[in-house]
Amino acid sequence: MFRQVWAVVMLSGCFVNLAACSPYVSWKEEVKLNDGRVIVVKQKRLAEGEVPREEWLTIPLPEFDVNPIVWHEHLIPLILNIDHRILYIVGIPPTGREIRLYGCPEHGAVGFKWQNGQWIRIPFGDIPLNIYSTNMLINNFPPKGTSLLTILEKSSRSLNGDGRASGNWTLNPNRGNGC
């Protein structure tokens, strides 16, 4: 009897607040590009508890595609930027499971560039030095209830610890891959 009552209570809580039962977290985030523009990207993460497992970014950059560009990987994106008219994303694996999935990425980061309408994985050495500074949320998730994460919020100590998302944290080519 107790189990049935508990199940009804839990299910009704899920119906009242669907987000509480969903393994997905979504928000919009301001991202400042090297050319000075600020764009708003949509992030969606699939989580197991507090661990992000999959990420979708929806990027509105009409100079690359008339439709929003979607990036989907098992990485936490740290950098979304443009260098010499090429769009790049750099992410890191959240756990050992993803490190193995990506073959122990060189220097712990995985780079991609948008080419001919698709994302192409690139070696670490092909990531331009001009985009080494992070411009996306470093923490796994924004505060609960966040619908738009601003650049100012990302640079605050209360949200991102040492303010790494403000561009004070960069990729490190001297870092090993941890494998």
39-97: per-residue pLDDT in tens? 999 999 999 988 899 999 999 999 999 999 999 999 999 999 999 999 999 999 999 99
Sheet containing 148-149: order of strands: 69-73, 51-59, 38-48, 24-32, 148-149
pLDDT at 156: 73
State the chain's mean pLDDT as an integer. Answer: 84
Secondary structure (3-state) at 167? coil
pTM of the entire structure?
A: 0.83
